A and B are shown apart, each in its own frame.
Chain A
Amino acid sequence: MSLLSLLIFLPLAAGLLILVLPYAWQQRYKYVALAAVGIQVIMSAFIYLNFDGNAFSGIDAKSKYQLVEQVSWINLQLGRLGSLQIDYFLGIDGLSMPFLVLSSVVMFIAVLSSWEIKTNLKGYFALLMLLNTAIMGVFCALDFFLFYIFYELMLLPLYFLIGMWGGARREYAAIKFFLYTLFGSVFMLLVIIGLYFSVQDPITGNHTFNMLHMMNPDNYIPGSIFSALAEQQIFGIPARLLGFIVLFIAFAIKVPIVPLHTWLPDAHVEAPTPVSIILAGILLKIGGYGILRICMSIFPDAAIDSAWWLGLIGVVSIIYGALNALAQNDLKRMIAYSSVSHMGFVLLGIASITAEGISGAMLQMISHGFLSTMLFFLVGVIYNRVHSRYIHDFRGLALIMPKYTTFIMIAFFASLGLPGFSAFIAEAFSLIGAFTSESVNGLLPRWMAICGSIGILLSAAYLLWTLQRMFFGKTRLMGGEDWKSKLTDVNGREIFVLTSLTVFALLLGILPSLAFDKMNASVLELIRLVNLK
C-alpha cells in the first residue's frame, strides 16, 4: 500500500476504530481522530517536501505524476459492449499536491475545533473521518469513476454533520446543501458515461474511465459523442460544449458561483464550526480543482470558447458577493458571502488561461483555505462563549479580549489582501493574469480585471466596518455583565490554531515560491494542453 492510499484510508480506519470503541471512552474519540489527522499532516508534509515540482508536471501524462498507483479494480466482460474497465488509479501533480497539504491542515484544525461538540460523539467523529477519506480521495483520484465515487461520498457525511450537529435551521440547510450539490453531480454522471463510451484505452482498446486518456484527443473513438472531430450536437448545442457546461455547473456549485451560491450562506451558518471550516476550507476548493483538472483538461476547446463567460461569472461573483457581505448583520453569514467574493478571483484567474492567472487562482484557493478556516474558527470562538454572532450585539471587544482582537485583525487584514499575507499575492496575480489575457491570448477583456479589483476595495469596506463596529469603541454587550464574564480571551488550544494559520498565511505571502515552485510546471503544462485544443 503506497503513501496516497495510506493518506486516504487512514482516517477511515480511525473512524472504524471510533465506531468499535466503547461509549465509556467517548471523551477519547477526539484524540483518536486527532492522532489520525496528525499523522496525515506529517505525511502530507513529507509528500510536499519530496515533491519535485519541475519533474512532476502531471496533467495528461501518467509518467509525470508522482506516487502513482494503478490497480485494475473492476473488470467486467460485457460481451458485445467490450469490457468495463475501472481502475484504482491515484497520483499527484502540482495541481493536486498543494490541496493535500491544505486538506490535512484544515482537517487537523477542524478536529481541534471539534472540542466544542458535546453530543453523540461517536457518530460525529466517525462521519468526520469518513469525510476526510472522501476528500483526500477526490484530490488523488485519476480515474473518473473513482473520482466520482469519492466526490459523492463527501455528500453523505456532510449531510448528517450539518443536519444533526447544526444550528436552528439545520435541517433546511442540510437538505438544501445536499440537493443542490446532487443536482450538479447527477448530470455529471451522464457526462462521465458519455466520455466512457467515447474514449478507449490506446493499449487495450477497451472503453476507459481514465482521466488522462480522456485528455488526449487521439483516444476518442471516431464518431463518438464527445469526439472533437465528429462535432456531434445535442439539442442543437455542440456536445463537447454541453459536456463542459454540465461539468462546469457541477463544480461551479461547489465553488460557488453567483447565482448558484445560495446553499453556501445557509450551510455555513447552520453548520457547527468544524464543519463550516471544512466547507469553506476544503469543499469550495474541490470546485476549483475540478474545473482545472477535469473541465479544462478534458474539454480544452470548450474551455477556450467559454472563457469570456467564466471570467464574467468570476467578476460578478466578486462584486456581488462583496456587496452582500456588506449588508450582513450575522458575522458568520458575512464571512460566507466573503467566500463567494474571494472564490470569484479563482474563477477569474482560471478563465484567463495565463500562467499568472492560473497560478494566482491556485494560490487564492490555498490562501482562502487557510484564511477562511481562521475566520470561521474565530467566529466559533465567540459563538461558543455567548451563542450569538450578531455584529450589533457586540461593541468594544478589544478591551476585554485583546488577544482575540489581534487575531481577528490579522485574519481580517489578511483576507482583505494586506501585503505580506497570501491573499495579496493570490488576488494580485489572479487580476494580473486576467489583465494580461488580452495581450497573451485575447480571451478576457481588460475591464474584467479592473472591475474585479473593485472587490478588493469592497472587501476592505465590509471587513473594516465590522472591525470598527464589533471591536472598537467602548465595551457594550447585548448580554451585559453576564456576557462580559463569559467572553474570556482565547485559550492555549485556540492560540495554537490561530498562530499556526497566521504562520501559513504569512509564509505564503512573503515566500510565494513555496507554492509557485511546486505548481509552476503543472500550470504551464495545463496551459500547453489547453492551447493545443
Chain B
Amino acid sequence: METLTQGNLSLLAALTALLPLITFLGITLIPGKQGRGAYFSIFNISVSLLLSAFLFFKIWNRNIVHEQLSWFTIGGTEFTAGILLNNLSVLMLVLVSLISLLVHIYSTMYMLGDPYLHRYWAYLGLFCFAMLGLVIIDNLLIVYMFWELVGFSSYLLIGFWFTKEAATQASKKAFIVNRLGDLGFLTGIMIVFSTFRTLDINLLFGEEGLVAQTVGSGIAPGAWLTIAGLAFFLAATAKSAQFPLHTWLPDAMEGPTSVSSLIHAATMVAAGVFLLARIYPIFDPTVLVVIASIGAFTAFMAATIALTQNDIKRILAFSTISQLGFMMIAMGVGAYGAGIFHLVTHAFFKCLLFLAAGAVIHEMAHFRAKTEADFDHQDIRNMGGLRKAMPLTFITMILASLALSGIPFTSGFLSKDAILIQSFEWADSQGGWVKLIPYSALLTSLLTAFYIFRLIFKTFFGEFRLKGQFSDKVIIHEAPAAMKYVMVVLAVFCLFLGFSFHPLSYEGSWILQGLPQQAIKHASVFDYHTFIPVIVNVLAILMIALAYKWYVKSKQAPDLSSNPVFLFLNRQWFFDDIYQRLFVNGTTKLASRAFLFDKKVVDGLVNLIANIGIVLSKISDWLDRYVVDGLIHAVASMAKTIGNFARNFQTGRLQHYLLTMVLVVLCFFIIKLFFPAI
C-alpha cells in the first residue's frame, strides 16, 4: 500500500472531480444526435463514486492529504492550486458522487424524451465537476471559482426549460441573489488576503494555522476578522438559502425535479454549510451568534411558510430552507460535527422526498397529458389517494418524512437530536436572549412534522380528488424501474443503521466521531440527552396526529384562508414583494435615472460646449464678415471712391488742367497768406 503516496491520492481526487467535466466537454464539443450522453455521464459519475469511496477509506480518520502546485505569481506572492483532503472533504466527496449517481440514474427515465436531453447531461456533469472540485480544493480563490461555477450550473439547470418564462426568470433570480452572496465571499477573500498574504486553506485554517494563531494571540486585527467572518457567512446565506437571501430557492423549483433534488436539496445548497465548516476557525463568538440566530430564524420562518403552500415542490423547497437553518444553528452553536452530520442525513432524505415527489409529478403530468385537462399537476389539492396506485413511492416517502420529522430509528432522529441537544447546552453556557434559539428550533421541528405529514396525507391518503372529473381514465401507476429503485436505495439511507449502530444515541455515530466536537462541557441541571428526544417525539407525534385528523379523518381542514396570519405565511412573509419593490424596482429606477442624467446632463454639457463653440464661431464669422472684412471693404471702397473722384479730373482737356493748376496755386497763396508760419 506504500505505493499510494500523497501525490497519487491527490491525483485520484483530481480525477474524481475531472471525470464529470469530461462528461460536460465530451457532450458539448462532440456533435451527435440529440439526447446523447446518458451512458457516458453515468459511467463517468460511477467511476467518480468508486474513486471517492476508495479515497474515503484511505483517508477517513487517517492522515490529511495536501498537495499543491504553483499556479501563478503576482508581485512577490505565489498563488498555489492544490488538493486538501481531510475527513470533511472525503465525506463530501462520497456524498456528492453517490447522490449524483442516483439522480443520474433516476433522470434516465424522468427526463426521457426531452429534446435537449444531451444538454441536461452536460449541465449535470458541469455541476458535479464544480461541486466535487469545491470540496477538495485547497485555495480560497479557487474555492470561490468553484463556488460560482456551482451557481452557474445551477443557473443552467433551473433555466433548462428555457422557453418557460417562469423558469428563465427563476434562473436569473437565483444567479443574481447568489452573486450578492459572492460579493461577501470576495470581501472575505480580500480581508483574509490583505491580512495574511495567502489564500491557502491549510495554512490559514489548519490546526496551527495563521487564523488560529492570530485569534489565540489576541493581537488580531479583530474588527476586520469579524467582518471577514460575516462576509463569508453572507456567501453561505446566499448559497444555502438563508434569510435574507433565501428567496431564490422556492423559485428554483421551476427546474426539473431531479435537478431540484440533487442541487437544490442535497448538495449545492449544502455548500454554504460546507464552506463554514472548511473555514471554521475564522468565526469568532460574535459571528457564531449571528450564524445561530439567522439559522434559527430562517428555520422557523421557512417552516411556517411551508405550512401554507400547496405546490408539492414548494413545500419541499421551504422544508429545505428550514433544514439548512438547522445546520446553520449547529454551526453557530459550535456543534460543527452535528451540522455536517445533519447535512449528510438531510441530503439523503430530502433527495428522496424530491425524487418521490418527482415520481408523483411525473405520473400527474402523464395523467394531465392523457386527459388533456388543465390543472396544476404539482398542486397537492389535486392529488390524493395515490398510496394505492404508487405504493412503493408512498412507503419510501413516508420513511423520508419520518426522518425529516426526526422520529426514532431514522437517520434524521440522530442528527436532529444532536443539533437540538447541543444547542440547548450551548444556550445554557451563553445566557441572555440567545436562549430563544434552541426553543425556536424545537418549535420548528414540530412545525416540520406537521407540514410534511400534511403533504403526505393530502397526496397519498383519501380519494383521488380529480377522480370525479375523469373517472374513466384514472391510470396512475408506479414510476418506472430506474426511478423506483433509486428511491429504494435512498430510503435505506433514511434509516439509522447507515450512520450509527445505536438507534437512539447520536454519540455513537461514526460521522460525528470523525469530526470536531462541540467544546462546551455541559454542567447543566437538565439531562438534555433524555429530555429533548422524548419531548420532541411526543410533540411531533401529536402534530402528525393533528394533521391526520385534519386532512384524513375530517376530510376538511379548518379553513384559514381569510386569516391574515395565513395570508402572511402564504405570501412567504412578503419577502418577495418587498425585495421586488425595494431592490429590483429601485435599481431599475436608479438605472433609468442614471441614464437620463447621462443623456441630459453629462452629454448635455458636452453638446452645450459644442453648441457654445458653434455660436462663438458664428459670432466670429459675423464679426469677420461685417466688421473685420467690413473695415477692409470700407477701406477698399474709400480708395475706390477717392479714385473715382480723382478720375473726374483726368478729363484730357488742357484748359481743365490749367484751371486746376491755377486753383492749386491760388490755394497755396491763400494758405500762405493766412498761415505764414507754414
Contacts and interface: CB of A to CB of B under 8 A. Distances in A.
A439 B224 CA distance: 12
A517 B73 contact: yes
Interface string A123-159: 0000000000000000000000000000000000000
A468 B591 contact: no
A453 B149 contact: no
A95 to B, nearest CB: 15
Interface in B144-195: 144-146, 148-149, 152, 159, 162-165, 168-169, 171-172, 175-176, 179-180, 182-183, 186-187, 189-191, 193-195
B663 interface: no
Given A327-B594, A432-B193, A473-B165, A453 B186 contact: yes
Contacts of A438: 194
Task: Choose among B76, B182, B193, B594 the residue with the greatest number of A CB atoms under 10 Å from its CB.
Answer: B594
A356 B606 CA distance: 36
Contacts of B179: 456-457, 460
A512 interface: yes
Contacts of A465: 172
Contact of A354 (B75, B182, B595, B598): B75
Given A326-B591, A468-B168, A520-B74, A435 B190 contact: yes
A424 interface: yes
Interface in A48-78: none
A259 B603 CA distance: 9
Interface string A424-453: 100011011001101110000010011001
Contact of A461 (B75, B141, B587, B606): B587
* Binding site secondary structure of chain B: helix
A399 B163 contact: yes
Nearest to A458: B587
A467 B171 CA distance: 11
Contacts of A176: 606, 610
A182 to B, nearest CB: 12
B163 A457 contact: no
Given A419-B149, A453-B183, A179 B610 contact: yes
Contact of B187 (A436, A450, A468): A450
Nearest to A440: B194
A456 B163 contact: no
Interface string B588-631: 10111011001000110110001000000000000000000000
A269 to B, nearest CB: 13
Interface in A397-423: 398-399, 413, 418-420
Nearest to B598: A324
Contacts of A474: 163
Given A456-B179, A517-B73, A327 B163 contact: no
B639 to A, nearest CB: 41
A262 B187 contact: no
Nearest to B70: A513
A473 B164 CA distance: 6
Interface string B60-79: 00000000000111111100
B594 A320 contact: yes
Contacts of B149: 418-420
A396 interface: yes
Contacts of B193: 432, 435-436
B190 A436 contact: yes
A327 B144 contact: no
A428 B189 CA distance: 10
A340 to B, nearest CB: 10
A327 B591 contact: yes
Contacts of B610: 176, 179
Given A420-B145, A436-B190, A472-B168, A464 B162 contact: no
Contact of B148 (A418, A436, A516): A418
Contacts of B587: 323, 326, 458, 461
A439 B194 contact: yes
B182 A456 contact: yes
Interface in A154-200: 176, 179-180
A335 B163 CA distance: 25
Contacts of A180: 606
A391 interface: no
Given A179-B610, A419-B144, A513-B72, A468 B176 contact: no
A469 to B, nearest CB: 9
B74 A359 contact: yes
A291 interface: no
Given A326-B591, A399-B163, A431-B186, A419 B75 contact: no
Contact of A323 (B175, B182, B194, B594): B594
Task: Choose among B75, B145, B179 the residue with the greatest number of A CB atoms under 10 Å from its CB.
Answer: B75
B71 A435 contact: no
A262 B159 CA distance: 36
A523 B75 contact: yes
Given A323-B594, A326-B591, A460-B179, A428 B72 contact: no
A320 B595 CA distance: 9
Given A472-B168, A474-B163, A461 B145 contact: no
B183 A516 contact: no
Contacts of A420: 145, 149
A326 B189 contact: no
Nearest to A359: B74
Task: Choose among B77, B193, B598 the residue with the greatest number of A CB atoms under 10 Å from its CB.
Answer: B598
Contacts of A245: none
Contacts of B590: 323
Contact of A524 (B71, B75, B180): B75
B145 A419 contact: yes
Contact of B172 (A439, A457, A464, A527): A464
A456 B183 contact: yes
A478 interface: no
Nearest to A450: B187
B602 A259 contact: yes
Contacts of B190: 431-432, 435-436, 446, 449
Task: Choose among B71, B74, B180 the residue with the greatest number of A CB atoms under 10 Å from its CB.
Answer: B74
Contacts of B75: 354-356, 359, 520, 523-524, 527
B336 to A, nearest CB: 27
A439 to B, nearest CB: 5
A516 B73 contact: yes
B145 A457 contact: no
Contacts of A439: 194-195
B291 to A, nearest CB: 21
Contacts of B165: 472-473
A465 B584 CA distance: 12
B591 A454 contact: no
B137 to A, nearest CB: 12
A201 to B, nearest CB: 33
A328 interface: yes
Given A262-B603, A424-B145, A453-B187, A512 B162 contact: no
A323 B598 CA distance: 10
Contacts of A324: 591, 594-595, 598
B585 to A, nearest CB: 12
Contacts of A512: 71-72
Nearest to A509: B145
Contacts of A453: 183, 186-187
B152 A472 contact: no
Nearest to A319: B594
A254 B216 CA distance: 51
A449 B189 CA distance: 12
Given A359-B75, A460-B175, 9 more contacts: A420-B145, A420-B149, A429-B74, A432-B193, A440-B194, A449-B190, A453-B186, A454-B183, A465-B172
17 contacts: A179-B610, A327-B592, A327-B595, A355-B76, A399-B163, A419-B145, A419-B146, A429-B74, A438-B194, A440-B194, A450-B187, A456-B182, A457-B180, A461-B587, A516-B74, A517-B72, A520-B73
Nearest 8 A/B pairs, CB to CB: A355-B75, A419-B145, A513-B72, A327-B595, A326-B591, A435-B190, A436-B194, A472-B168
